[in-house]
Amino acid sequence: MSTLSPRDLVERLNWRYATKKFDATKKIPADTWAALEQSLLLAPSSFGLQPWAFVVVNDRATREKLVAASWNQSQIRDASHLVVFALRKNLKASDAEKWIDRVAEVRKVSRESLDGYRQMMVGFLGNPPGGFKIDDWSARQVYIALGTFLTSCAALGIDACPMEGLQAPEYDRILGLTKQGLATVCVATAGYRAADDAYAGLAKVRYPSEQILLRM
Amino acid sequence: MSTLSPRDLVERLNWRYATKKFDATKKIPADTWAALEQSLLLAPSSFGLQPWAFVVVNDRATREKLVAASWNQSQIRDASHLVVFALRKNLKASDAEKWIDRVAEVRKVSRESLDGYRQMMVGFLGNPPGGFKIDDWSARQVYIALGTFLTSCAALGIDACPMEGLQAPEYDRILGLTKQGLATVCVATAGYRAADDAYAGLAKVRYPSEQILLRM
């Protein structure tokens, strides 16, 4: 199998940065973008429940509306591709049943053989541990997909910028997400850094590793 | 630069699965593990604030204590490596000041030149938008690091299993995290799948792509 070498992985991750200015003339090739869409679809989630949807916005007029809902940040307009990461609201026991149906279908096994798995999910969604809210948990899962996508971009040599702090309710309205039970969480833009993005050449800053990585 | 091809990326992500049973005799080589530690240190976070710590637990006696706090799941014992993902609690304006000090130091620029950036962070941490709690936001950031780590493992051909639903307060106690202002969020185990892990051969299940990936 073709893997990255440890050295190449670190080189790729050091190359990655939150791209502030994209080259608006450069488009990600179709086969590369198709692989990045697969990275979204194949992202891991707790129980496999995929409490999310990913909205790829190519329509120019829609992109312009989103610029206005993003404090006019240029990446929303200029990046080759834009993905809105949304969570599926109010997951409940019936979503576990729906998921069991899907697993049984794809793996060609009986629902009965999945009953332990089903009961665990139903218990979790019906009565979340530690008192936390299911939508908060779903939002966390969405960030796994964000990390998967950004790392996949880096592995392929594609620039990206994760973005929070958008006007999420405006996004929901513009994209018609609310009526589908979805809610915008964050965004990733992807493409190619502009030659004059002043941020591209800055040293990457992290806290000293001994403050972040503890060994026991 | 050495990148993965789109085809290899998709192959790697399809190969990945949540490993239920590790081969306890196989250890990740030092250079490979060092790269995976770098994937944690280089993981993106909002504002670059890194509201987290990663605890690599190698001590066998400590691992045994964590097994008991993990509903006896075997991965905690058998995986080559175990990483506990923790959030840094109660981030506040002073954390923004500390971060600005670090950026100024590494990039050899004045604090004054970073004042817009500083003010944005101070405003955010002092008065979070949308009423959400900073610890919830920090937990989301931790899941970016989780996604980065799992994808990095897949790119290197290392098996991994993300784990939630642990007894987090027990983890905090065993690892002495509370007094450091840290709180356990989730865990990742990494190593090599056992030859007899029944889950390794099962078909990967996802919802039909048209239900998850929306195009506009």
Tens of pLDDT, residue by residue over B194-213, are 999 999 999 999 999 999 99
Say what percent of chain A tops pLDDT 90: 94
Kindly report the nearest CA distance between residue A197 and chain B, in angstroms. 16
Hey, are the CB atoms on A157 and B3 less than 8 Å from each other? yes
Tokens standing for residue A156: 């392929």
Residue A41's pLDDT band (boundaries 50, 70, 90)?
Answer: very high
State mean pLDDT over A108-134.
Answer: 90
Structure confidence at residue A2 (pLDDT): 85
Say what percent of chain A tops pLDDT 70: 99
Could you report the per-residue pLDDT of A138-172, keeping only the tens digit for each? 999 999 999 999 999 999 999 999 999 899 999 99
Question: Does A11 contact chain B (CB < 8 Å)?
Answer: yes
Structure confidence at residue B96 (pLDDT): 96
Which chain B residue shows the shortest CA-CA distance from A164? B46
Structure confidence at residue A1 (pLDDT): 63
Q: Determine how many CB atoms are found less than 10 A away from the CB of residue A204.
A: 14
State mean pLDDT over B139-168.
Answer: 96
Hey, are the CB atoms on B53 and A203 less than 8 Å from each other? no
Structure confidence at residue B1 (pLDDT): 63
Contacts of A206 in chain B (CB under 8 A): 41-42, 48, 50
Query: Chain A window 159-188: which residues touch B at a Cβ cutoff of 8 Å?
Result: 162, 164-165, 168, 175
State mean pLDDT over A187-202.
Answer: 96
State mean pLDDT over A98-124.
Answer: 96
State mean pLDDT over A96-115.
Answer: 97
Question: Does B147 contact chain A (CB < 8 Å)?
Answer: yes
Structure confidence at residue A129 (pLDDT): 76
How far are the Cα atoms of A34, A125, A163, B65, B70 from residue B60, in angstroms, in the given order? 43, 34, 40, 9, 15
Q: Answer yes or no: is pLDDT of A215 > 70.
A: yes
Q: Which domains does chain B have, with CATH numbers?
A: 22-90+136-211 (3.40.109.10)
Interface test with A, best of B95, B106, B140, B174 (most A CBs within 10 A): B140
Kindly report the nearest CA distance between residue A67 and chain B, in angstroms. 15
Structure confidence at residue B132 (pLDDT): 77
Q: Which of B151, B146, B190 is nearest to B19 (CA)?
A: B190
Contacts of B132 (CB under 8 A, 6+ apart): none
Hey, are the CB atoms on B4 and A1 less than 8 Å from each other? no
Query: Chain B window 50-69: which residues touch A at a Cβ cutoff of 8 Å?
Result: 50, 52-59, 62
| pTM attached to this predicted model | 0.97
Quote the CA–CA distance of B6 and A32 in Å, as a whole number.
5
Helix (H), strand (E), coil (C) string for chain B: CCCCCHHHHHHHHHHCCECCCECCCCCCCHHHHHHHHHHHHCCCCHHHCCCEEEEECCCHHHHHHHHHCCCCCCHHHHCCEEEEEEEECCCCHHHHHHHHHHHHHHHCCCCHHHHHHHHHHHHHHHCCHHHCCHHHHHHHHHHHHHHHHHHHHHHHCCEEEEECCCCHHHHHHHHCCHHHCEEEEEEEEEECECCCCCCCCCCCCCCCHHHHEEEC
Kindly report the nearest CA distance between residue B211 and chain A, in angstroms. 8
- DSSP H/E element including A104: helix A93-107
Question: Does B109 contact chain A (CB < 8 Å)?
Answer: no
State mean pLDDT over A176-198.
Answer: 97
Q: Which of A199, A204, A202, A205 is nearest to A22 (CA)?
A: A199
Q: Which of B163, B50, A47, B136 is nearest to B171 (CA)?
A: B163
Burial A128-159 (b: 16+ CB within 10 A, else e): eeeeeebbebbbbbbbbbbbbbbbbbbbbebb
ipTM above 0.85, yes or no: yes
Hey, are the CB atoms on B216 and A175 less than 8 Å from each other? yes
Could you report the per-residue pLDDT of B64-100, keeping only the tens digit for each? 999 999 999 999 999 999 999 999 999 999 999 999 9
Could you report the per-residue pLDDT of B101-131, keeping only the tens digit for each? 999 999 999 999 999 999 999 999 988 876 7
